[in-house]
């Protein structure tokens, strides 16, 4: 009988500890992106869970979107990305929207979409 009572008092275990994230680029002037890559070796490029310290690599963006699965938590997100525009030209863009501990992004739901308003460096 005591075992039944003890089992009834336990906290429910969260089923899903992962978040499916869709990252969507937004460029000034409405320029269209064919693809974008982020070099993980550059120090400022991060998709870092500040709870666990895991820094996830960015997948390649196809068009203005990429999808990744990460552990739920609080994230610092910033990058310089090499972009190829739909007209075949290339350039460099930067996102610094969540680049410090005072400005982070919570990813706590099973699915999240994050809009990334980038600036064009070249």
73 within some domain: yes
| pLDDT at residue 8 in the model | 56
113 falls within a domain: yes
The CATH number of whichever domain residue 96 belongs to comes to 2.60.40
Residue 15's pLDDT is 79
Does residue 116 lie within any of the structural domains? Answer: yes
Q: How far apart are CA 96 and CA 2, in angstroms?
A: 54
Residue 2 lies in a domain: no
Domain span including residue 20: 15-120
How do residues 23-49 score in pLDDT, each as one tens digit? 999 999 878 999 999 998 888 999 999
Complete DSSP assignment for 7-57: HHTSPPPPS--EEEEEEEEE-GGGPPEEEEEE-TTSTT-EEEETTT--BPP
Residue 31: predicted pLDDT: 85
Residue 65 lies in a domain: yes
pLDDT tens digits, 63-100 = 999 999 999 999 999 999 999 999 999 999 999 999 99
pLDDT of residue 40: 84
Cα-based distances in Å from 100 to 10, 64, 67: 37, 24, 23
Any domain includes 4:
no
Backbone angles phi, psi at 51, to 5 degrees: -75, -40
Determine which of 10-19, 35-44, 99-108 has the lowest per-residue pLDDT on average.
Answer: 10-19
Number of domains in the chain: 1
């Amino acid at each position: 009988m005591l075992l039944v009572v003890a089992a009834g008092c336990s906290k429910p275990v969260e089923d899903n500890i992962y978040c499916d994230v869709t990252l969507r680029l937004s460029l000034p002037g409405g320029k269209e992106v064919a693809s974008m890559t982020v070099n993980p070796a550059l120090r400022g490029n991060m998709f870092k869970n500040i709870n666990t310290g895991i820094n996830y690599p960015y997948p390649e963006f196809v068009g203005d979107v990429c999808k990744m699965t990460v552990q739920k938590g609080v994230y610092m997100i910033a990058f310089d990305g090499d972009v190829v525009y739909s007209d075949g030209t290339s350039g460099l863009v930067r996102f610094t929207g969540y680049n410090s501990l005072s400005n982070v992004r919570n990813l706590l739901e099973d699915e999240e979409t994050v809009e990334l308003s980038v600036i064009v460096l070249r």
